[in-house]
Copies of this chain bind each other. A is one copy, B any other.
Amino acid sequence: MAGRIVIGLDAMGGDFAPSEPVRGGYMAAKENPDIDLILIGREEEIKKYLPSDLPNIRICHASEVISMEDPPALSVRRKKDSSISVGAELLKKKEISAFVSVGNTGAVVSAATLKARLLPGIERPGLAVVFPTMKGTPVIVIDVGANIDTKPTHLLQYGLMATVYCRAMWDGVDDPKVGILNIGEEEGKGISTYKEAASLLKQSGLNFVGNVEGKDIFKGVVDIVVMDGFVGNAVLKVSEGAAEAVVKLLKQEIYESSWWTKIGAILFLLPAYKRLKKKIDYSEYGGALLLGINGVCIIGHGRSNARAVRNAIMVAVKEIKRKVNDRILKELGNLKVNIGGEN
């Protein structure tokens, strides 16, 4: 087993568990005989959905389930035998190199932070999401809600972790541009945490380009936008909501149109629409990345289907192969500013 990559998958997380996680895990394991997959959750239920046995799939029984609606921190403390708690425990013991879940985001963040702990020097984990842009290049938004008690050094560390992630994972992006969210583009505007963070980022040695407005995120003017978890969570949810609303309103318009338009839309628009949906569906990007954890942790969308789960696993595998965490630790030492205390 030495040297083999072992991935732990939360089989009970998400809106379509255990069916879709199990099927997605199966896809990934079948396509990649060089990785080992541990399905974590209720054994009987997992077996029901597993198409067949594979030599590189094992089941780790966990009797409890943290639902999407459960209070995150509390349920991690109470449900010690939940798939999420057990997965985080395996990550802590280094029995798995990565934990992948499409379950309760807050619970995964809590469990991973509490058990696997943070990388030395990192004060808070950052949840990063990859968005598509109009330019065609992706953009990383960090933090979308792992931490709402945000200090300037956290924002600096988000910028660093995302920079390392870009460099390591995306070929051809050697010096990713980092922006910080703000109101307007004037320097010195905005709240004090952001001002101080901008000043740290400026001296850090990262490719910091200054303030970025919300409207610029999707334009692809930068590769990384750092913000605090409260704002970032709103940004993430509102983006999803706005995109969904536009698509729904367009559908309504077509539905309320003449039968001509309806037939036309079905005949001509459907393929373009399907490709669009694939582009804006962030499950295609493999879910959110919980950066800063001592171990790889990927959190997919609750609505993930099997394909999205498979994609999330493949992102985790790539993150392990490209040694993202080792590189974060190395780069932390190269920063030209004081990154704050230990965690």
Confirm or deny: A280 has a beta carbon within 8 angstroms of a beta carbon on chain B.
Answer: yes
Confirm or deny: A54 has a beta carbon within 8 angstroms of a beta carbon on chain B.
Answer: no
Q: Give the shortest distance, in Å, between A110 (CB) and chain B (any CB).
A: 12
Residues of B within 8 A of A275 (CB): 253
| Interface contact B233-A235, CB-CB below 8 Å | no
Interface hits, A188-217 → B, CB 8 Å = 190-191, 213-217
A contacts with B: majority SS: helix
| A249-B279, A267-B264, A269-B264 known; A234 vs B227 contact (CB < 8 Å) | yes
| Interface contact B246-A280, CB-CB below 8 Å | yes
Taking a contact as CB atoms closer than 8 A, the residue among B184, B231, B272 that contacts A231 in the complex is B231
Interface hits, A92-124 → B, CB 8 Å = 106
- Which of A82-90, A152-160, A254-262 faces chain B? A254-262
Confirm or deny: A169 has a beta carbon within 8 angstroms of a beta carbon on chain B.
Answer: no
Q: Mark A246-288, 1 if CB is under 8 A from B, else 0.
A: 1111100110010011011101110111011001100000000
Confirm or deny: A53 has a beta carbon within 8 angstroms of a beta carbon on chain B.
Answer: no
- Which of A6-14, A32-40, A42-50, A237-245 faces chain B? A237-245
Starting from the known contacts A214-B240, A250-B273, 14 additional A-B residue pairs (CB-CB under 8 Å) come to A72-B184, A106-B184, A132-B245, A148-B183, A190-B230, A214-B241, A215-B237, A217-B238, A234-B234, A242-B246, A243-B245, A257-B271, A261-B268, A263-B268
